[in-house]
A = this chain, B = another copy of it.
Amino acid sequence: MSSTTNPSELPLAPWARRLAPSAIQDMLQHITKPGVFSLALGLPAAELFPTQGMAEAAARVLAEQGGALQYSATLQPLREHVVALMAKRGVRCSPQQVFLTTGAQQGMNLLARLMLEPGQAVMLEDRVYSGFQQVLDPFQARRLAVPTDARTGIDLDAVQSVLASGERPAFLYTMSDGHNPLGLSLAAEARERLVKLARDYRMPIIEDDAYGFLHYEDRVLPPLRALDEQWVYYVGSFSKILAPALRVGWVVVPEPMVFRLATVKESSDIDTATFTQRIILAFLDSGKLEGHLVRLRQEYRLRRDTLLRALETHLPKGASWTKPASGMFVWVELPEGNDTTALLARALELEKVAYLPGQAFGVQGGRSAAHCMRLNFSNCEPARIEDAVARLGRVLALARG
């Protein structure tokens, strides 16, 4: 038996040698401590999960389906349910364009692996979901970061000017609803112009719609995929509307992509119908999703409104924030010069309150959002949200003093 391995002797590819324990992972240890008032993570509310319905579905699947635990082909009826769900988002697609994944994250990962050559460029917003940057890291993809505004979203003039300069990114990654971290829904004209740019410049868009079914206003726009089926690659998920630990999501793509996705998924974790896909199928068959979504939207709307009112009450002058029509997040901008990364340690120490610093969403650790923070409203009950924001207000008042 040889002695304990010295990290410098590990047989690693160069990019993997440079990996450091994630700063966010490190932060999470503090944020998730008992007693912390956390507005930090993008967690759905566990107390709203349809646990009883899931338990019934699991019991039914195991009692009635002999092959429920065996390797088996993709669940055609679940793809048909996804088609019906997509229709409610205003998207027309066929089951042959739907591919089931291990959550939205796998959808993005598999698409990037098929579309991206190492070192190639990718276009993204300069405030972007950190998990998508993780997808790009092993490819050492060149980031073409375009500005994004907390109210109007991705800067389409900037997108156009990058494309007009001759850049041909492998794809653009964006979210048109429930934007993470901005909590933004893109205006109709912006959606149309973005899709037109994609078409004109033959640039694929990976549209991350993980939060798209969580909308809180009367007027809901269809995602980009409703405007184009050739250039928009749609990524959806049951994680935020049913439960994340089931690990089921889907993509909607041109049909000739599907066997390619099956091949890379097979090499990743075997493309087999999983037990949790069967549970979700049984739950959907029971017809309970629609009522569940209504309750979820109602409760999250209440929590959003509670958060927005509390921000009015407790945040100092000079702070501004988004008023999201969808998703789970509010983006707060403090006056320039504030450093929310440095402030987090004090917030935890003095008031046991947590948020995610804007820097966590910067492109390759960029500091342009260093004066911002992302607040989540889905995971805390209303009373706790108020308490958390009052605490945050006290920390910010101190920081200015």
Contact = CB atoms under 8 A, between A and B. Distances in A.
Contacts of A22: 259, 262-263, 266
Nearest to A203: B11
Contacts of A101: 269
Given A5-B229, A46-B69, A62-B58, A267 B109 contact: yes
Nearest to A45: B70
A268 B109 contact: yes
A69 to B, nearest CB: 3
A72 B32 CA distance: 10
Contacts of A255: 4-5
A62 B70 contact: no
A273 B254 contact: no
A246 B19 CA distance: 30
Contacts of A267: 105, 109, 131, 134-135, 137-138
Contact of A266 (B55, B72, B131, B227): B131
Interface string A244-285: 111100000011110110111011111011111010000000
Contact of A1 (B9, B44, B228): B228
A115 interface: yes
Given A55-B58, A244-B70, A275-B276, A113 B138 contact: yes
Nearest to A260: B19
Of A11, A231, A255, most buried by chain B (CB within 10 Å of CB) is: A11
Contact of A72 (B12, B242, B245): B245
A237 B21 CA distance: 26
B59 A10 contact: no
A40 B113 CA distance: 30
Interface in A216-243: 227-231, 242-243
Interface string A348-380: 000000000000000000000000000000000
Taking residues whose C-beta sits less than 8 angstroms from the other chain, chain A's interface range is 35 or more
A106 interface: yes
B266 A268 contact: no
A228 B3 CA distance: 9
23 contacts: A1-B229, A4-B254, A5-B229, A5-B254, A11-B170, A13-B113, A13-B114, A13-B170, A43-B70, A43-B71, A46-B69, A49-B70, A55-B62, A58-B59, A102-B102, A102-B268, A103-B269, A109-B268, A113-B138, A131-B270, A137-B267, A244-B270, A276-B276
Contacts of A49: 69-70
Contacts of A118: 118
Given A22-B259, A58-B62, 17 more contacts: A5-B255, A10-B257, A11-B204, A12-B114, A19-B260, A19-B263, A32-B73, A46-B70, A71-B245, A109-B267, A118-B118, A131-B270, A243-B275, A245-B272, A245-B275, A269-B269, A275-B276
A189 B63 CA distance: 48
Contact of A70 (B114, B245, B268, B276): B245
Interface in A19-70: 19, 21-22, 25, 32, 41, 43-44, 46-47, 49, 51, 54-55, 58-59, 62-63, 66-70
A115 B15 CA distance: 10
A98 to B, nearest CB: 15
A2 interface: yes
A43 B131 CA distance: 34
Nearest to A63: B55
A387 interface: no
